[in-house]
């Protein structure tokens, strides 16, 4: 065994009207920078947890139906979110400075779409997903960890052909 850390798993939320999984697939190299995270807990997961090669569930929020729709992977680890430094950007944060950025982003690349998008209704009640952060009452975290066990269950459900 190498000393390399085990791959970790994550879930990110995006409103599809703003940026959808299809938008990611249509991006150059199917890759984009994940800007606009303005929550400390979510930032810490990106900054401290996300490593190259980690896999990410792509979740569409505030849409009907809200669902996990695809899989992406981390291709660049955390670096400064430049949109926080731009006064004209809607995500501008005057507290963030170029020499000491408050907010970070990573780069993610699309891997594949789920054969079956998985709505919250699909996921609720599934054995093994009881503790999934996404399903917790009042959960609003836009970047959240997923356990290997949860990942395996979601992947199996999402890729099962009918």
Residue 59 pairs in a beta bridge with 13, 68
Residues 61-120 close enough to bind DNA by CB under 7 A:
61-64, 66, 95, 120
Structure tokens at 4: 């390399």
Q: Which stretch binds DNA (CB under 7 A): 47-55, 59-67, 68-76, 79-87?
A: 59-67
40 near DNA, judged by CB under 7 A = yes
Q: How far is the CB of 83 from DNA (least distance, A)?
A: 13
Burial of 73 (0-12, 13-18, 19+ CB in 10 A): middle
Q: Quote the DSSP letter at residue 81.
A: -
User: How far, in whole angstroms, is CA 101 from its chain's centroid?
Assistant: 21
Please identify which residue in 22, 41, 48, 131 interacts with DNA, judged by CB under 7 A: 41
What is the contact surface with DNA in residues (CB under 7 A)?
13, 15, 38-41, 61-64, 66, 95, 120-121, 136-142
């Amino acid at each position: 065994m190498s000393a390399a850390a085990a791959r970790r798993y994550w879930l990110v939320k995006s409103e599809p009207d703003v940026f959808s999984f299809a938008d990611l697939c249509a991006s150059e190299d199917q890759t984009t920078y994940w800007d606009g995270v303005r929550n400390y807990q979510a930032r810490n997961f990106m900054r401290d947890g996300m490593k190259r090669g980690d896999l990410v569930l792509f979740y569409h929020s505030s849409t009907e139906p809200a669902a996990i729709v695809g899989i992406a992977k981390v291709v660049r680890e955390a670096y400064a979110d430049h949109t926080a430094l731009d006064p004209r950007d809607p995500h501008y944060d005057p507290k963030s400075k170029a020499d000491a950025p408050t907010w970070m982003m990573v780069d993610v690349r699309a891997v594949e779409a789920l054969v079956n998008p998985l709505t919250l209704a699909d996921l609720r009640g599934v054995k093994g997903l009881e503790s999934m952060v996404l399903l917790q009452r009042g959960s609003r975290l836009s970047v959240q960890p997923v356990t290997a066990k949860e990942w395996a269950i979601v992947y199996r459900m999402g890729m099962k052909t009918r």
